[in-house]
Structure 1
Amino acid sequence: MTIAAGMARLQAEAGLCEGGVPTSLPGALTVTPTYEISHDAFLLRLPTGLAFHYRRGAGTVYACPAGMTDGEVRLFFDGSVYGAIAWLNGLVPLHASAISHDGGVYAFTGISGEGKSTLVAALAERGLSICSDDVLVLDLSDPDAVMAVPGHKRLKLWADALTLTGRRPDEAVRPGLDKFYVADQLSFDAAPLPIRRLYVLESVVNADPGIAPITGADRFTALRSSYYRPQFCSAIAEQAGYFATAARLSTAIAMSRLNRSRAMADFATGISMIEADIRGTIG
């Protein structure tokens, strides 16, 4: 599979249309109250009545209750369903937002609330392009490079992050949720690029802000912790393949721990620190 073919495969498999969704998944390897997954299919059923059925080669069909917005459908499709599609097609999704600079991708991962999307929004204001928001898909088909596949062309921010980054809000991503799509025109990547660095975000607690390399066994742990919906992968992958993939990624991708202050007064200083590291980093 070539690099271009890997991206094309993901795009081809990410078709979405409304229709009937089955109540269960034949041959499921894992069954939970909300999702089922097999070697070639994924079923997601939410308490709201929204449901998705993906089958490899056939795309995704969804069913939703009356009154549910298209934005809410896209929110779940672009998240859990998209992650499952990636895993089921031999790709590796990370829980990360990413930007690109000088032909390479720099990604930010961390627990929810660490500000991955906020950093991307702020760095885009400084002239860097956006590769992905929240889910970054990696293509390992090239033996010489790990490629980052461009993600969805919309950025989502909480209300306070909109204020912090000076961005304008569009529609809410979900009714009653204080999180919005960004209305501003933003520059998004159009083609796969090699991933050069993965930053693990941490908020400073009694420590000085800074960026430090992650080394040794900590790299393997950091990489596995950055997987998006790792339970999907563990359900369908043989243990040896699972560890081989993680080992290759942890060896191929440079990683750094990014400690930063979350105080609003320190925001611009923190962004400048990150920008300088990216612009000064050689893959």
Structure 2
Amino acid sequence: MLETEKKVIYKAFGFKILSDIFLPELPQMNEYGDTVDVEIKVDDLPQSDFKLVDTPYKHVVKEHRVMFYIPDVAFFSVQEGKEITVSPVNEADEGLLRLYILGTCMGVVLMQRRIFPLHGSAVAIDGKAYAFIGDSGAGKSTLASAFLNKGYQLLSDDVIAVSLSSDNTPIVTPSYPQQKLWENSLTNFGMETSQYQSIYGRETKYSIPVSSKYFSDPLPLAGVFELTTTENEIIEIHQIEKLESLQTLFCHTYRNFLIPRLELMEWHFSTSTSIINTIDVYQLHRPVSKFSAPQLASLILTTINKGE
């Protein structure tokens, strides 16, 4: 039975979120005033939407609405950056349901609100935000954990919300205090898997609360590091040229296939241009043959200090 609750307000990505669904990953708000930014509702979606059954996993865009169906989980609808409607399938796993709400659905909300969603992790270093982007399995969350072990703080994991200030400074708004780490990363950091809950469908990936290592205020984005893997055992880093950086940001925009469907190509290009004109973008090669996160973190810190 899906666990729901009445009119509890959560905070994530700078939004006040009213949810019918219990979201233990998110901090609750005691006072929120008269308005909320995003509402998450459990409801039956219109019958016309159920043709999504014939095209599972496909994201259908109609006007200001994005809809998709995940088999054995739920039908989802995200409208105008304000409303997420969920119609769960019977016996759907709550953890998997929340994974899509806090992942794909929130990514769509950000796009609909013209907030740039990067796919990666971000940490706070000396009053600035640094983003680690890359393909799945590149080691973004593991690298962020290495920084947390050095005393720095997490801003976001999986989806990084970047907006532009009035003077076009890119700003990272924190998401919520949780990471997702693979079992081998936990082992390398000396953490016991028995202390954490595995993510449904990914028995060797775990949800890691990091409330004590979380920075909850927006910070200016000062650099982006793209993580790639290599068979070479040598760790290498180089700065990506400005024009190439545009493609890098596009490739690592969360759910980037929705950009043209939402008619956001011009917005995305303009925002990307503002970002790369303000910060440096680097590519970092890490060996697949060994655990190198602490060394990568040290190299990034050295690079940051040289640029100041």
Q: TM-score range by the shorter chain?
A: 0.7 to 0.9
Match of 1:97 among 100, 103, 121: 121
Q: 1:165 maps to which residue? A: 189
**Paired letter, 1:104:** K
Deviation of 1:19 after TM superposition, in Å, equals 1.8
In structure 2, give the amino acid aligned to 1:276: T
Change (3 A) 1:70 1:90: same
**2:65: which partner in 1?**
41
CA–CA distance in 1 between the matches of 2:307 and 2:286?
Answer: 19
The question of 1:123 aligning with 2:141 is answered no
Task: Give the structure 2 partner of residue 234 of structure 1.
Answer: 260
Partner SS for 1:263: coil
How far, CA to CA, are the matches of 1:208 and 1:264 in structure 2?
11
Partner of 2:288: 262
Aligned-partner Cα distance in 1 for 2:272–2:284: 21
Q: Structure 1: how far apart are the matches of 2:176 and 2:87?
A: 22
Q: Are residue 21 (structure 1) and residue 45 (structure 2) matched?
A: yes
Alignment CA distance shift 1:71-1:55 (3 Å): same
Q: Deviations over 1:146-182 (max 9, x none)?
A: 1011012211111111112233442121145321101
By how many angstroms is 1:118 displaced? Answer: 0.6
Distance in 1 between residues matched to 2:291 and 2:217, nearest whole Å: 36
> Offset of 1:256 from its aligned partner?
0.8
- Once the two structures are overlaid, the 10-residue window that deviates more, 181-190 or 67-76, is 181-190
Structure 2 match to 1:252: 278
Secondary structure of the residue that 1:273 maps to in structure 2? helix
Moved more, 8-17 or 135-144: 8-17
Could you list the per-position Cα deviations for residues 26-77 of structure 1 after superposition, in whole angstroms to 9, with x for gaps in the alignment?
A: xxxxx98632224422212112241222223752121222332321111111
Name which of structure 1's ranges 224-233 and 86-95 shifts more when overlaid on structure 2.
224-233
Tell me how far 1:91 sits from its aligned partner. Answer: 0.7
Return 5+ residue gaps in structure 2 as ranges: 1-12, 18-35, 50-54
Task: Report the residue type matching 2:185 in the other structure.
Answer: A
2:219 counterpart (193, 196, 208): 193
Q: Indicate the SS of the match to 1:114.
A: coil
Offset at residue 278 of structure 1 (A):
4.0
| Residue 203 (structure 1) aligned with residue 229 (structure 2) | yes
The CA distance in 1 between the partners of 2:106 and 2:75, in whole Å, is 14
Q: Which residue of 1 aligns with 2:24?
A: none
Higher relative contact order (CA 8 A, sep 6+): 1
Name the structure 1 match of 2:7: none
- The one-letter amino acid of 2:110's match is A
Q: Give the number of equivalent residue pairs.
A: 272
For 1:129, the aligned partner's letter is Q
Report the structure, 1 or 2, having the larger strand content.
2
Q: CA RMSD in A?
A: 2.6
Which residue does 2:85 correspond to in 1?
A: 61
Q: Please tell me whether residue 114 in structure 1 is matched to residue 138 in structure 2.
A: yes
Whole-Å separation in 1 of the counterparts to 2:99 and 2:186: 18
Distance in 2, matches of 1:13 and 1:42, equals 18
Matched, 1:85 2:109: yes
**Identity within the alignment, %:** 23
The one-letter code sitting in structure 2 at the alignment partner of 1:95 is H
The residue matched to 2:228 in structure 1 has which SS?
strand
Distance, in Å, in 2 between the alignment partners of 1:108 and 1:143 is 24
The one-letter code matched in structure 1 to 2:252 is S
Question: Is the counterpart of residue 179 in structure 1 residue 205 in structure 2?
Answer: yes
State how far apart, in whole Å, the 2-side matches of 1:236 and 1:184 are. 34
> What's the offset of the Cα at 1:250?
2.4
Q: Please, which runs of 5 or more residues in structure 1 have no aligned partner?
A: 1-6, 26-30
Take 2:59 and 2:16, find their aligned partners in 1: how far apart are those partners?
A: 21
Please report how far the alpha carbon of residue 94 of structure 1 lies from its aligned counterpart in structure 2 after TM superposition.
0.6
Alpha-carbon distance change, 10 to 85 in structure 1, aligned in 2, over 3 angstroms: farther
Q: Secondary structure at the match of 1:15?
A: strand
- For 2:300, the equivalent position in structure 1 comes to 274
Going from structure 1 to structure 2, the CA distance change for 1:223 and 1:103 (only over 3 Å counts) comes to: same
Q: CA deviation at 1:236?
A: 1.5
